[in-house]
Amino acid sequence: VWTGSAVNLSKWINIPLGTTLFLYGIIVTISNQLLLGSFDRRRFFSNLLFTVPFSYLVAFFTWIFNTISVPEQDFYIRLILDIIGLYCVAMAVSMYSRSNLIMHPNDDLAYIIRFKYIHGSAVISQWLSYIPPILIIGASYVFTGKLYAIGFGTVFALLFQGAMMKWSDTHAFPKLKHHVDL
């Protein structure tokens, strides 16, 4: 959802996708600090540290997938790739958030909402963390009349990413437990 909104914003304001994702990372990192209510130096710098390579790797892999014609593949192949990819992302976020490793600011946003404000609900926290990118997608559409990179995967993530993370919390390396540090 965040990446889909970044694609739309980058097309709307005509800046590279990697730069848009990097700017998202900075803005969300600052927002996370505000939601925490106090400055958390480790979290601030680890969010930024994750943002730099991630932003440009997403842009790089987008280029690779376009080069090998993934967008032109049969619908069912793309559907399967979407579901597998989104489940792998949900499982990875579940594992690295429980490992207390550095987190991407967008994942940390959902984590902060989940454990500071809504008593641990992975599903609701994920939905709430998607409000900013949904608003950006809407604004991009209003101002350009076009939607980019919004399809099945975006809707699937919006509806099920939190539930897949919740499932992964108890089934993917179940001995890992959340160490809430808010």
Identify the pLDDT of residue 171: 95
- Which range of residues forms the domain containing residue 154? 2-171
- Is 169 within 8 Å of 98 (Cβ atoms)? yes
63-100: pLDDT as tens digits: 999 999 999 999 999 999 999 999 999 999 999 899 87
Cα(115)–Cα(129) distance, rounded to whole angstroms?
13
Domain membership flag for residue 182: no
Domain membership flag for residue 177: no
Q: What separation in angstroms does the CA of 152 have from each of 32, 91, 119, 133?
A: 28, 19, 30, 16
The number of folded domains in the chain is 1
Domain membership flag for residue 178: no
Domain membership flag for residue 106: yes
Domain membership flag for residue 120: yes
Domain membership flag for residue 179: no
- Is 156 within 8 Å of 76 (Cβ atoms)? no
- Could you state, in chain order, the average pLDDT of each consecutive group of 10 residues for the chain (182 residues)? 96 94 96 97 95 85 92 93 94 90 93 95 96 98 96 93 95 89 78
Share of the chain above pLDDT 90, in %: 84
Report helix angle 75-98 to 152-171, nearest 10.
40
Domain membership flag for residue 121: yes
Domain membership flag for residue 180: no
